[in-house]
């Protein structure tokens, strides 16, 4: 039996009094005929503590006290993605980031700053309308890939300051 390390968690679709992310993932793994291993549980628990998507490398570093190599982390995340336990998003650089969704829709989407890599939440409403419209047109089992990229206010501010400095030096 896996011990519950968290009773409350902000994952969408799972009631506060419901199973912990680890318990949910265990059930899903068993249902799919897969083994519940220590690295798998450790990764789910780690992801449940991160509100923003994180890279494979960050997952790996986060598991520092456990013997789990990068290939194992990669394989676990690929399995979780297949089972719908995590959602994969892509940074502008092509790096993959993972967030826990536990079979439900993500709580929100994220916008990635192209310059500093900062991640901010984007409301789920952003994709609700097209999803509904597809359902109305008779589509079922709809999946989607939505990524937002931009330049964050801080980077924009810095760029504007640089420009002003250049103008001032020229004058
Ligand atoms: Zn930025």
DSSP annotation string for 117-170: --EEEE-THHHHHHHHHHHHTT--S------EEE--HHHHHHHHHHHHHHHHHH
Please report, for the domain that includes residue 37, its CATH number. Answer: 1.10.10.10
Structural tokens at position 76: 């676990």
Higher per-residue pLDDT: 77 or 141: 77
Please check whether residue 23 is in contact with residue 2, taking contact to mean a CB–CB distance below 8 angstroms.
Answer: yes
* Cα 6 to ligand 1 centroid, rounded to whole Å: 32
Mean pLDDT of 67-89: 90
Tell me, yes or no, whether 89 and 162 share the same domain: no
Tell me, yes or no, whether 46 and 114 share the same domain: no
Distance CA 63, CA 41 (A): 11
Tell me, yes or no, whether 130 and 84 share the same domain: no
**Res 117: pLDDT:** 87
pTM of the predicted model over 0.85: no
**Res 73: pLDDT:** 94
Mean pLDDT of 32-57: 92
Tell me, yes or no, whether 88 and 22 share the same domain: yes
* Cα 98 to ligand 1 centroid, rounded to whole Å: 20
Tell me, yes or no, whether 97 and 122 share the same domain: no
The whole domain housing 160 covers 108-171
Among 103, 128, 145, which residue terminates a domain? Answer: 103
**Res 66: pLDDT:** 65
Please report, for the domain that includes residue 164, its CATH number. Answer: 3.30.1490.190
- How many domains does one find in the chain? 2
**Res 9: pLDDT:** 45
Higher per-residue pLDDT: 128 or 37: 37
**Res 42: pLDDT:** 93
Model confidence at 14: pLDDT above 90 = no
Tell me, yes or no, whether 72 and 114 share the same domain: no
Mean pLDDT of 110-126: 86
Residue in the block written with tokens 């790996």 = 60
* Cα 125 to ligand 1 centroid, rounded to whole Å: 23
| pLDDT band for position 125 (cuts 50, 70, 90) | confident
Tell me, yes or no, whether 98 and 16 share the same domain: yes
Distance CA 48, CA 30 (A): 19
Please check whether residue 90 is in contact with residue 147, taking contact to mean a CB–CB distance below 8 angstroms.
Answer: yes
Tell me, yes or no, whether 47 and 122 share the same domain: no
Tell me, yes or no, whether 50 and 6 share the same domain: yes
* Cα 33 to ligand 1 centroid, rounded to whole Å: 43
* Cα 140 to ligand 1 centroid, rounded to whole Å: 37
**Res 109: pLDDT:** 83
**Res 41: pLDDT:** 93
Among 51, 81, 103, which residue terminates a domain? Answer: 103
* Cα 115 to ligand 1 centroid, rounded to whole Å: 5
Rg (CA), the chain: 19
* Cα 111 to ligand 1 centroid, rounded to whole Å: 10
Residue in the block written with tokens 């068993």 = 30
* Cα 56 to ligand 1 centroid, rounded to whole Å: 21
Most confident segment among 30-44, 122-136, 157-171: 30-44
* Cα 157 to ligand 1 centroid, rounded to whole Å: 9
| pLDDT band for position 16 (cuts 50, 70, 90) | low
**Res 44: pLDDT:** 94
């Amino acid at each position: 039996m896996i011990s519950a390390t968290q009773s409350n968690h902000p994952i969408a679709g799972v009631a506060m009094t419901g199973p912990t992310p680890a318990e949910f993932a265990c059930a899903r793994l068993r249902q799919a005929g897969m083994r519940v291993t220590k690295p798998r549980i450790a990764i789910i628990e780690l992801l449940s503590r991160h509100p923003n998507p994180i890279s494979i490398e960050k997952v790996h570093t986060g598991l520092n006290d456990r013997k789990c190599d990068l290939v194992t982390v990669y394989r676990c995340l690929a399995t979780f993605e297949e089972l719908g336990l995590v959602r994969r998003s892509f940074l502008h650089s092509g790096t993959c980031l993972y967030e826990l969704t536990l079979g439900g829709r993500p709580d929100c989407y994220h916008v990635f700053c192209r310059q500093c890599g900062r991640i901010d939440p984007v409301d789920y409403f952003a994709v609700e309308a097209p999803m509904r419209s597809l359902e109305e047109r008779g589509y079922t089992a709809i999946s989607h890939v939505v990524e937002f990229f931009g330049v964050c206010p801080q980077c924009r501010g810095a760029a504007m300051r640089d420009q002003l400095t250049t103008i001032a030096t020229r004058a």
